[in-house]
Structure 1
Amino acid sequence: MAAAHEPLADSADDTPIPFRQAIEALRATRPRPEIEIEPTPAPRRLAPYAYALQASVTEPGADPEDEDAEPADGRLVLLHDPAGQDAWRGTFRVVTLVRAELEPEMGSDPLLPEVCWSWLTGALEARGVPYGEPSGTVTRAGSYFFGGLGDRQPTTQIEIRASWTPLEGPGGVPDAAAHLAAWCDLLGQVAGLPPAAAPDAAGGVVPLPQRRGPQAR
């Protein structure tokens, strides 16, 4: 992660122990070097307890001016309600947002939304993390340039909004680190990065599109 974090408050903190342990697992996770993660303010109205991270994928020297490029970014929120919520079918919930710009030819693929959703479920399955009640949307948007910007090539943006219930393990604590690792895999996929490590073939991860070329930036 981008910076070290202080430990959670001591036992006087009224935060439930399972949530405290899940947060510690998130804080201890170290993603691949191209992905930078840092804490961000969490939403207050979705659950009694929430913890949020924001992330960006950086490609050194990938910009036409040899500057660093950020082909994808996102946000992950871990929610906890000790009383549970009917829609979750559990006491924890992961809520995510991932955004990326793809090669223009990908934007015309009618199956793009289904493929993007399979990237998410495939990342979770490749990591072997148990989850339930997945839901979400995939939004595709195209940008076309005119006038003084007319020399730019069209671009296609994709946005994946999703949530799922991480199934709880011993002590009522989900494997938060594994869910974060799967989410980082998804970020790397939508950014067009090569796999950091060979995934389990049984996970069935869908092949990825190429990254944006300089002409599409």
Structure 2
Amino acid sequence: MAAAHGHLADGADGADTTPAPFRQAVQALRAARTRLEVEVEPMPAPKRLAPYACAFQASVLERGGTGAQGEGEELADGRFVLLYDPAGHDAWRGTFRVVTLARAELEPEMGADPLLPEVSWSWLTGALEARGVLYGEPSGTVTRAGSSYFGGLAEQEPSTQIEIRASWTPAGEPEGGSQAPPDLGAHLVAWCDLLCQVAGLPPLPQDTSSLGGVVPLPQRRGPQPT
């Protein structure tokens, strides 16, 4: 996986003045490993949300396709942003905040399921819990949007897209009366698990527990307008 890009500050003498917790968090993100179907790349981080930030964009690709590396169509995509404010943030109730987006296309009948928003949110919380990460102050939205095509596009089937926007505050493990830094790499891996789930991929044999009892909906990527 490519390295993360963050807002890293240099002093007048060129020394790195980035706070150690953020440097450690970026290193943990760089060291995270996801399943082969997920491609994660760094992207420009937002500059106004926190003093320090790093960001990734990710895609879930169908394996065994006709691409140069055996890749097929894109099944899901999203972004993962880590924010850090050394002074803390009242709304976060912490110094770190994870902000994410995951989206994929569904069969229209699946998108019409009235329980889809609740199930989709349970995928996120289940993925975090399956990886054993601690978190607090979760918030987010689940949006579904349908498209019908007309005129020159009338032959295309209707499509429905699901979009999960979520944020949460990573928490550390209690350690000798103090709080150890959160394992941000595990948070990224858990989010990639969510991305694979909205893409409709079956869990890996060692990850069967990550479904949390929720059966993934069969999904496909709909044809794109030209």
TM-score of the alignment, normalized to the shorter chain, above 0.5: yes
Q: Which moved more, 1:82-91 or 1:162-171?
A: 162-171
Structure 1 equivalent of residue 78 of structure 2: 74
Structure 2 gaps of 5+ residues are: none
Kindly tell me: are residues 202 and 61 of structure 1, through their superposed partners in 2, closer, same or farther at Cα, counting changes over 3 Å?
closer
Kept in 1: contact 2:141–2:165 (CA 8 A) = yes
Structure 1 gaps of 5+ residues are: none
Aligned-residue sequence identity (percent) comes to 69
1:205 deviates by 4.6
Give CA-to-partner distance per residue, 1:156-211, whole Å, 9 cap, x none. 10111110000024675210111011001001000011112444749725211112
SS at match of 2:216: coil
Structure 2 equivalent of residue 165 of structure 1: 169
Structure 1 equivalent of residue 217 of structure 2: 209
Structure 1 equivalent of residue 51 of structure 2: 48
Kept in 2: contact 1:118–1:205 (CA 8 A) = no
SS at match of 2:18: coil
Structure 1 equivalent of residue 182 of structure 2: 174
**TM-score, normalisation: structure 1:** 0.88
Structure 1 equivalent of residue 113 of structure 2: 109
Give CA-to-partner distance per residue, 1:62-98, whole Å, 9 cap, x none. 69xx972111001000111111101111110000011
Write the distance in 1 (CA, Å) between the matches of 2:217 and 2:211: 18
SS at match of 1:68: strand
Counterparts of residues 57-206 of structure 1 (less than 5 Å): 57-60=60-63, 68-169=72-173, 172-199=180-207, 201=209, 204-206=212-214
Aligned residue pair count: 211
Give CA-to-partner distance per residue, 1:109-150, whole Å, 9 cap, x none. 111111111111110011111000000011100011112221
- Please list every run of at least 4 consecutive aligned residues from structure 1 whose deviation after the TM superposition is greater than 3 angstroms: 3-6, 8-11, 60-63, 169-172, 197-203
**TM-score, normalisation: structure 2:** 0.85
Kept in 1: contact 2:146–2:159 (CA 8 A) = yes
Write the distance in 2 (CA, Å) between the matches of 1:188 and 1:210: 12
Write the distance in 2 (CA, Å) between the matches of 1:88 and 1:4: 26
